[in-house]
Amino acid sequence: MVHLTVNGRVVSVPEGSMVAAALMVAEVGAFRHSVQGDVRAPLCGMGICFECRVTINGQAHCLSCQTVCEDGMEVVTT
């Protein structure tokens, strides 16, 4: 298992899992909020739509659907 934090909470997922999958397992309601404040979550799952973008280890706008979970990773939703 790989252990990462999502909004400060520890989440454990099987090795090789994508960050987007980990966030859904952690049941975060929103990956991001839209311009007018609506909650959004992944649509395309393949790096096209940018709805899954989150901050990973301090770097903003990372596509969680194309990033593999790593031990100690810090993920923050916006």
Partner 1 sequence: MKKLSFAVLVVGAGPAGLAAATSAARGNFSVGLLDENPAPGGQIWRGGRTHAPGKQARVWLSLAELPEITPLYRTKVVAPLGTRALLAERPDGPVLIEFERLILATGARERFLPFPGWTLPGVMGAGGLQALVKGGLPVEGKRIVVAGSGPLLLAVAAFLKSKGAHVLLVAEQTPWHRLGAFALQLPRYGRQFRQAGQLGLHLYNVPFHADSWVTQAHGDKRLMAVSVRMGGRVKTLDCDYLACGFGLVPNSELAAAFGCELFEGSVRVDAWQRTSVEGIYCVGEATGIGGVDVSLAEGQIAGYAAIGQLERARTYFPAREKAARFAALLARNFALRDELRHLATDETLLCRCEDVPYGEAKQQASWRSARLQTRCGMGPCQGRVCGAAASFLFGWTPDSVRPPVSVARVETLALTPETIMRRRTQ
Chain contacts with partner 1 (rule: CB under 8 A) = 13-18, 20-22, 24-25, 29-31, 34-36, 38-51, 53, 61, 65-69
* φ, ψ for residue 22, nearest 5 deg: -60, -40
Whether 23 and 44 have beta carbons less than 8 Å apart is answered as no
Nearer to partner 1 among residue 38 and residue 71 (C-beta): 38
To partner 1, the closest distance from the beta carbon of 12 in angstroms equals: 12
C-beta of 3 vs 48, nearer to partner 1? 48
Q: How far is the CB of 8 from partner 1 (least distance, A)?
A: 20
| Contact yes or no for 6/22 (Cβ under 8 A) | yes
- Minimum distance of partner 1 from residue 55's CB (angstroms): 13
Q: Which amino acid is at 69?
A: C
